[in-house]
Structure formats: structure tokens, C-alpha cells
Structure 1
């Protein structure tokens, strides 16, 4: 068992005491058993993402306070910490207009640069993407102000979405929220309701992480209302389907099985109509993503045996982005750990690491799973010890 006292359980204990709650009081307010609160705080059980979010909500603090994000030691080791300040500045200086010292490429090349940057993130090349991002935001902003066009504003909106993806994967949730605000700013100028709907989907998932399920579902439904302004196309249908999938996972964490069942069925109907679509504002909607979200929903609801069985049925195409494939392996690993399949769980997290090392290193689900495996072992196997050390645990 780890001797380090700096883990989510110890942070929950500290914040609980500061708020004046007993363990039983926190358990009642968070909706979990006293036994689980006691085991997590004492370090005998890992804090799952849903449990941590529930405690953060009960204590009225950001979930990052309990997870310890961002993981600065690991970010410094990966030379990612130094890239955050330029990203922060590029998000803050959005309203200065065209930069007189910046020369810009032609519109087609800028649009392709925005698409390339998004591909880098989906391939989880976070260091490369983070280094490129600030200048591309400046260049696109300058070009859009000099020669305004829907195409350029949409490309800028896509790039702000990429900024959200990078910052949220690295644990800088304050920046991820700002990036989504900037995304809407650009989407309005592009007159693109579909892009605005994607932004609402991503906002909903931010509140899902914080355990604010009602707000998350309202945001997702606001995205669906925005699509009323758009013509019905395969693109708008795919975004509508993705909004249903977002609602599925949010409702799952709230343990609302009726909403999970209804929204998942709606998404599957749309997926049957449009098939696999991997290039709709860089969403990977289709039957495979519906299956992946079903695994996530079952995991969130604590139906881990079903989640493992469903995960084994998914055949992820090689064309699927590494970020999505790794996420499925992380969900599978978490459910395998919870059902006592310790060796299988380690294999799943290892596969996620092989596919998307930087994403896996900073993923709360992967870290909670490995922490849980370590705490279950009387003697830590070498492979588990290595990945635990790599995660900084």
C-alpha cells in the first residue's frame, strides 16, 4: 500500500474537516455509504471519479482540489508545464483584433492547419499540439479580422475547441472553460449553430465532471435547441446523436437509468441513420461510439460486470482516434478492477498507455484504477509498480 499521504482520500478527509462534516455527514450528503468514505479516507480503497465528484459537490469545492490536478510534477517531467502560459495568454488576448506583427497564410492553409492541430490532439500528441496552439490562435484571429469569413471564424472556433481538449486533458479546468467561451465567441461570428451546439455538449461534460448532473443535462438540451436553427444534414444529425450520448453519461453518474435508457436509444437510432462519422467538428459519432458510451454509462452506474461484457464486444476500427480507443480501455480497466479482475485491469490500462501515453498519464480514471490495484496487492508486481511510478503515485 502506498505510504504517500497525498492522495484523493487524504484530500477528501482534509476538506471534509475544514467544512465541519463527520464521515457519516459527508456520506449522507454525497449519497454514498459511511463505510466507503471511511475506506477511501484511510487509503484502503481508491476514490473513483464519480465518488470524488460527489464529495466535491457536497463540499462545494472544485473537483480538482480533491484530485490534485493539474499534476505539476508529471507536467514538468513531460515539459508540458512550460507550454501552459502561452496558451493562457492566447485565450486571454482574444479581443485585441489583428496583430500588426503577424503575417497570415491563405485561408485554405489556415483551415487545414486547424484540422491538423485537432488530429494531433486526437492522436494524443499533446506536447506538439500545445506548442503549436498559441500561434495558430493568433494567426487565425488576425486573418479573420483582416478578411472576415465564416470559414475562418469556424476554423478559429475549432481551434478554441482544441484548446479546450488540450487543457482539460492536462487538468487545467479553468483554462478549458475559458476556451469554450472563446469557442462560442467564434461560432457566433461564423453563424454556425452546429459548432455552438458542440460547445454546449462540451460544457455539459465539464459539469458532469463536477457532479452537477442537472446543469449538465440542461446544457446538453440547450445544444439540441440550437440545432433547430440548422438544416437537417448528416452533420447536424451526428451532433444531435452526440448530444444524446453526452446526456447518457451525465445521467448515468446521477444513477438515472430511465434517462440513460431513453437517451442511448435516441443516439442509436440516429447512428443507424448516419453510420460511422468521424469528421463532424472532430466528433466520432456512430454505432461504435454509441457502444463505447454504453460502456461508460454502465461503469458510471456501478454495473461493472455488464460494462466488461459490453467492452469485450466492441470492435474499434483502426481509423478511430487513439484518444477514443484509449478511453474505452480505461473504462474497461476500471470495471475490471471493480470486479476483481486485477490482472485484466492492468492489461487494459497498459493498452491505454500504449495508445495514448500522455492522455493516460493525466486521466483521473486511469490513475484511480492503478491506485486501486496497488491498494489491493500485498506485494506489488513489477509491471504494476512501474506504471504506478510512471503515474507519479
Structure 2
């Protein structure tokens, strides 16, 4: 069942009515408007006047802005989100200002390098808030160190910290700030003179933008690795092919998708096993299969995606972030197949495995909205899930 394309006040009234487990008749009985008008507003045939919205909001015991305005994209309160993101933004802004005379104390370089890797690990374990809180100090101190005692290892650590900042703010729905973080990553990676880190940055930029410049970015990343045969380089090159497959799927180019997936499979065979230790990319056969599923979903080949999702067996070594993404994808394709009970089950599993990540994934919202539209009366478990993401 494809998701509805409409997103207007009437459709949000319909969603909230179903989440309240009310029929149209039952809601109409609670407001000073006719059942006929309610039906027309919900399907978009008539506009919802401010008075109508206020009456419905009163009947459903919620703020009218939830019906009249766009749906929330994050469940965190604005002030809490600002408290996490604001310090990261400030830390990113200091990159070219030279030594900071007001910074009283800086940890030794080995500690900063170790923490940069630890924060990468935290994000892959979906501990987003913990990583977000620790990032500003790491970035500020690492920036100070590369200005006062530069070394290749510290430039790599700073590039890693910027990459983690990108991952965190993107998951917290700040794509513009994530682009700034990637620019900073490129700045640090070029000074580290590490082609693999530079190629990872190109991969991140390409999959973030998914536009006309994405494929040239992928190609430039591949050119950086030309002639490299190390396990690290092979894993990064394979991940670049997966990025290209993602972009091609976005553009409905099935031929290019298959070509890039085939190249990634060949590189995964050469790497052997799951290269989770290579820049936290988790490149390997399982990751190729997960991208194959993602490509089918992006191209709306839901029958094929359903078969892929049901056949997929993730290894025990799969990172939490990857496992949660698979569970949300599985919930989405089960919903599209009309299996509401199975869809809810996999959403619940994703929430249990990685609550912070699951709450912010676009697929979670799309699945819950689809389930609400499938239900005449949303079951309490679905209502609870909708409230959890702020729908």
C-alpha cells in the first residue's frame, strides 16, 4: 500500500482521529460541524477553517498547531535539541581561527585520538546524545592541538571528529549543519594526506546530497584510490560503489544500481568477511545486501524488497545502527505488503535495539503514517508508537 501523497491539515486530522481510535461519526458528534464537512476536509476537498481546526483540536485534546502546521521531524523539544546541536555548531566554527588563547587545558594527543575513535563507536551503537555531548570539547581541543602541535595522527583524529559530527547532526535532522561538518572533514582530511579518509568524505557528501554532483563525487573518490590494493582501500572503494548504487536508486536507474552492486560484491569477496574495523563503514557482504534492499525500497519495488528483507540474515557482528536500519526497512516493506501486525513487530524491535536512531529515521515516520492510513481505528500499540515519534 503506497503512502498517500497528500500532507495537509485534513490528512493530519484524519491521522490524529484514527490515533484517537475514533470514527468520523464519533468525531463529528464531538464538534459543531457536520459529518459531511469533516469527511470533505479529511480528503482535501474542503479547506479547514481556523474555527474548524480549533474545534477538532479541542475534541482531540491537543494543540491546534499539531493539526494546522507541518508534522514534527524530531521528538526532542526544541530547547533540548538546541542544547545538543548549538555547541557542535560553535565548535565547527573555530576551525580556521588558529590557537585559542582562552583554552586553559587540552588533553594529550593520544587521549584525543582514542576519544575520536570511541565517539565513532558510540554513534554506531546509536548512543547519539552521549556522542553529541562529548563532541564539542573533542573538536575544540583537537583543533587547538593541530594548530599548536600538528601531526598526521591528529589531523586524522580531527577529520574523524568532524565525520562523527556529520553523522550526529544528520540523525538529529540538521542536514545543513551536517554539510558544514563534511566541509570541515575535507579540510582536515586533506592535511592528513590520507586518500582513504578523503574518499570517505566524498562518499558522505555524495550520499547526503544525492543530486547531479553526487556521481562526480563518487568518481573523484574512486580516483583517489586508483592503484591502491590494501584491505582498507578495497573496503572504501566498495563503499563508494554502494554510495553510487544509492544515488542511482534515487534516480530510478536500475541498470546503474545493479552495476555498482555487482562491483561492490566483487570487492566484498576480495576483502573477505565484514570490514567493520575500516573507518566504521562495516563494508562486507551483509552491507552489500542491505544496500540492495535499500535500493529496491528507493525504487518502490516493494515485492522484490519484501523477498529480500525476509531472506536476509544479518551476522551477529552487525553494528547496532545497521541492524536498526534493517528492522525499520523491514517494517516499511511489511506495511507496504499490508502486513500491519508484522510491520509493528519490526518497528518495536528497532525501537528496542536503537531507540534514538529509530525515532529519527524517515522510514519510521513513513511506516507509522502508512499504518495509520491502513487502520480504521489505530490499535493502542500503534498510537503509542506515533506519540513516541511526535506524530
TM-score tier (shorter): 0.7 to 0.9
* Partner secondary structure for residue 277 of structure 2: strand
Aligned to 1:314: 312
CA-to-partner distance for each residue in 1:84-113, whole Å, 9 max, x for gaps? 110110111111222232422232221110
Higher relative contact order structure (alpha carbons within 8 Å, sequence separation ≥ 6): 2
Aligned to 2:389: 391
Change (3 A) 1:308 1:135: same
Change (3 A) 1:106 1:123: same
CA distance in 1, matches of 2:112, 2:192: 15
Change (3 A) 1:137 1:297: same
Kept in 2, the 8 Å contact 1:342–1:373? The answer is yes
Structure 1 residue aligned with 2:223, among 222, 225, 230? 225
* Partner secondary structure for residue 225 of structure 2: helix
CA-to-partner distance for each residue in 1:116-151, whole Å, 9 max, x for gaps? 111111111111111000000011111122211111
* Partner secondary structure for residue 107 of structure 2: coil
Question: Is 1:94 matched with 2:92?
Answer: no
Kept in 2, the 8 Å contact 1:98–1:142? The answer is yes
Question: Is 1:129 matched with 2:131?
Answer: yes
CA-to-partner distance for each residue in 1:353-381, whole Å, 9 max, x for gaps? 11111111111111011111011100111
Change (3 A) 1:361 1:278: same
Query: How many residues were matched structurally?
Result: 331
CA distance in 2, matches of 1:288, 1:339: 24
Shift of 1:78: 9.5
Shift of 1:68: 5.7
Structure 2 residue aligned with 1:287, among 258, 266, 285? 285
Structure 1 residue aligned with 2:357, among 359, 365, 371? 359
CA distance in 2, matches of 1:370, 1:278: 31
Q: How does 1:1-393 map to 2 (within 5 A)?
A: 9-10=7-8, 42=43, 70-71=73-74, 74-76=75-77, 79-100=80-101, 101-208=103-210, 212=211, 214-228=212-226, 231-275=228-272, 276-393=274-391
Aligned to 1:26: none
CA distance in 1, matches of 2:354, 2:243: 22
Gaps of 5+ in 1: 1-6, 14-40, 45-65
Aligned to 2:24: none
CA distance in 1, matches of 2:87, 2:78: 18
CA distance in 2, matches of 1:135, 1:263: 39
Kept in 2, the 8 Å contact 1:292–1:328? The answer is yes
Gaps of 5+ in 2: 12-41, 46-68
CA-to-partner distance for each residue in 1:298-349, whole Å, 9 max, x for gaps? 1111111221221222222333221111111111111111111211111112
Change (3 A) 1:223 1:67: farther
Kept in 2, the 8 Å contact 1:295–1:332? The answer is no
Shift of 1:218: 2.1
Shift of 1:70: 4.8
CA distance in 2, matches of 1:147, 1:8: 56
Aligned to 1:25: none
Q: Tell me the TM-score normalised to structure 1 length.
A: 0.80
Shift of 1:69: 6.6
* Partner secondary structure for residue 380 of structure 1: coil
CA distance in 1, matches of 2:166, 2:373: 33
Shift of 1:157: 0.2
CA distance in 1, matches of 2:307, 2:44: 29
CA RMSD of aligned residues (A): 2.2
Kept in 2, the 8 Å contact 1:184–1:199? The answer is yes
